[in-house]
Amino acid sequence: MPQRRTATILTAALLIVGAGRGASVQAADGDKTCQVSLSAGLNNTRPGEVRTKYTFGVAANTAESCADVTYVLVVTEQLPDGNTKVTELPGDVRVRNQTRIAAIEFDTDAKNTIKSFEPKLKTCTRCEAP
């Protein structure tokens, strides 16, 4: 009789542990966030008399088979009076197991000077690759 009781207790314990494992695997699969690295570069400048047009490239790199990435490119410019102005340019890109570069255009007053630009990640979500 003690052997049956021990076997029953072990079987119940294994079922409970197995059920717990299934729930944790499901929770991990339900988590759709991902890792991505962002970088930015100034690709083109078209000066004009009144306005200057800048084109930035924002590169998103991930090892995910498919990822939807949203970000903002934070551009800091110096105004002629010495003050600075910060502009956030939103963007998004779908990356598939590689690096993807998105072009972001920015127009500003010709008298302003670009001092810095930096991409900041908002979200990275795994997606189903078609």
User: Hunting for tokens 């810095």 — which residue is that?
Assistant: 116
What integer pLDDT is reported at residue 119 of this predicted model?
97
What integer pLDDT is reported at residue 25 of this predicted model?
23
Residue by residue, DSSP assigns 14-83 as HHHHHHHHHHHHHHHHH--B---EEEEEEEEEE--SSEEEEEEEEEEE--SSSEEEEEEEEEEEE-TTS-
- CATH number of this structure's domain 37-126: 2.60.40
Give mean pLDDT, residues 16-30.
Answer: 31
What are the structural domain ranges in the chain? 1-31, 37-126
- In three-state form (DSSP H/G/I as H, E/B as E, the rest C), the secondary structure along 72-83 is EEEEEEECCCCC
For the ranges 17-31, 65-79, 89-103, 114-128, the lowest mean pLDDT is seen at 17-31
User: Hunting for tokens 């339900």 — which residue is that?
Assistant: 30
Distance, CA of 74 to CA of 71 (rounded, Å): 10
